[in-house]
Structure 1
């Protein structure tokens, strides 16, 4: 009976196992093998050991794209946390009417296709006819070139990316709803201010959600690709090129699959390292009810 149960279980999960093996496991193993080869699409892979990894140390575009990627993460993760949590707190006000309408309106931009979204951002931040610089001109301020400036291109992309903060907002809204109202009522009786209730009740109880957001947002932003690609193509002067874009260029523009595979594993290594750091420090500040 145990063998029959095991066989039936394997039959049920066989479609998933096949899909995982073909579309996930095999590409992972193949990419690691190709990272150790000199492989262009039109030629056969030639084993070269760790030459691709060694080449990165003398590749200025690799260091430039890696630096840009880390700057994206440093800018996008904390700003997205503040914006998403701030909006969720505003929508959690009991006196606010039409919360469902506001919530849906804020969430909708996050499902807009990246191409359409990038067209809107380009129109907003156009240096001469853009909406933002037009408003600044009303106050006598000459706006920067935004996406055409090496200095402003990354901050512009970071600011524009907050348009899609609706998904994180919903997650924080759900976390805020899970906090027992009795805790706030007891704090009010004791004369606690709203700031005290936020720092002593709200913030500690949503730290698991904050931790989840930090991990998933960091992983996602380390792979940032579509927004800078559509808005700038990596320019000006590679100031907005992310590591994901550089991997794409090496693989599909220069057909250097071996080097692109090595870059992908380096990106994977950085993601794993940052994730482990998050988990290592989470024990000091993440509060789980019933465990701390």
Structure 2
């Protein structure tokens, strides 16, 4: 029997099942989609509008165009806060990666129960809330009754003004940032345990020493993990706030005035919401540009097993 020209085709039962399955899939992901729209997309669009206004929360916003962005280039503290943030990033990120990677290498050598306990102990500081970390380090670095200066005095050494000296305060916060290297270390450790042991065994048979295996096998195969940790740590370092706010309050002499701390003060102390929103967008584009540069010039050197 021939089908009539122009006759309609009835959809099979599989077609309606796929539509019903897709509908249920949308129902299940809709809470995430709704949350993304409400907590990310809408605030970002609102921040675009607010950055173009003069709004102090005490009166209705008035449009000022790009005045807030122009004012950023005249604000001396914006330049100072960017300088402090860049110095912190350049120093803290490589230091964190180096310590975390070296620790992961050492912990990866042994699979004993004791080593599992040590791994947990290294990771625990990363679970401590940032505010608690700030309170702890405020006590450790206190020039009068802090533990570190007490140890120096017991050894006959003079006390150090860790948080009061403009030349030392930022360095103290950089060292403090190592407190949470356990999170990066765990990711490195997972990557190390994913390297096939057969590669090391074959290298040993060929006479490769430990140094050769490190630079010819371990590091090349760890480049995806190193790259991931570098990007994540770089983005996080540009958003440092708690240490500068709770420990040094941006001082002394603005030597620890991080960019996000300056943004916070403009928003919630000076109530300059439009100016703070403009600062937030500038930070967003700085981080975006740096991330794109890193992917462009360093992403090509990442080696994936099997590629």
Matched with 1:19 is 35
Cα distance in 1 between the residues matched to 2:231 and 2:147: 34
User: Once the 2 structures are TM-superposed, how far is the Cα of residue 187 of structure 1 from its aligned partner?
Assistant: 1.7
Provide the residue aligned with 1:180 in structure 2: 196
Do structure 1's residue 235 and structure 2's residue 258 form an aligned pair?
A: no
d(CA) in 2 for partners of 1:115, 1:5: 46
Asked if the contact 2:263/2:280 (under 8 Å) is kept, the reply is yes
Q: CA deviation at 1:153?
A: 0.9
1:208 matched residue in structure 2: 224
Inter-partner Cα distance in structure 1 for 2:267 and 2:113: 51
Match of 2:8 in 1: none
Instruction: Tell me what 2:93 maps to.
Output: 77
Q: For residue 118 of structure 1, what is the aligned residue in structure 2?
A: 134
Aligned to 2:215: 199
After superposition, the Cα gap between the structure-2 partners of 1:237 and 1:171, relative to the gap in structure 1 and judged at 3 Å, is same
Please tell me the root mean square deviation across aligned C-alpha atoms, in Å: 1.7
Q: How many Å apart are 1:140 and its aligned residue?
A: 4.4
Contact kept in structure 1, 2:227 and 2:299, CA below 8 Å: no
Per the alignment, residue 6 of structure 2 pairs with none
Deviation at 1:5, TM superposition (A): 4.7
Residue by residue over 1:202-247, the C-alpha shift from the partner in whole angstroms, topping out at 9 and shown as x without a partner, is: 1110000000001111111111111221111111111111111111
Q: Structure 1 residue runs of 4+, over 6 Å off? A: none
Post-superposition shift, 1:260? 0.3
Paired with 1:18 and 1:192, the residues of 2 have a C-alpha distance of 55
C-alpha change, 1:133 and 1:49, in structure 2 (3 Å) is: same
Deviates more, 1:240-249 or 1:4-13: 4-13
Gaps of 5+ in 2: 1-15
Contact 2:164 2:252 (8 Å CA) reproduced: yes
Measure the CA separation in 2 of the matches of 1:95 and 1:14: 43
Q: Secondary structure at the match of 1:147?
A: coil
Gap regions ≥5 residues in structure 1: none
> Which whole-Å deviations, capped at 9, do the CAs of 1:259-289 have from their partners, x for residues lacking one?
0000000000111011101100224421111
How far 1:141 sits from its partner (Å)? 3.6
The separation in 1 between residues aligned to 2:135 and 2:283, in whole angstroms, is: 28
| Structure 1 residue 45, shift from structure 2 partner | 1.3
Which structure has the larger Rg over C-alpha atoms? 2
State how far apart, in whole Å, the 1-side matches of 2:74 and 2:129 are: 37
Q: How many residues align?
A: 291
Whole-angstrom distance in 1 between the partners of 2:66 and 2:140: 45
Matched, 1:48 2:64: yes
> Which moved further from structure 2: 224-233 or 25-34?
224-233
Alignment partners' CA distance in 2, 1:88 and 1:13: 37
* Contact map agreement 2:239 2:260 (CA 8 A) in 1: yes
Instruction: Output the TM-score relative to the length of structure 2.
Output: 0.90
**2:176 pairs with 1:160:** yes
SS in 1 for 2:163: helix
Distance 1:75 1:105 in 2: 25
Residue in 2 that maps onto 1:30: 46
- C-alpha distance in 1 between matches for 2:27 and 2:195: 42
Q: Distance in 2 between matches of 1:97 and 1:223?
A: 37
Deviation at 1:139, TM superposition (A): 4.6
1:259 counterpart = 2:275: yes
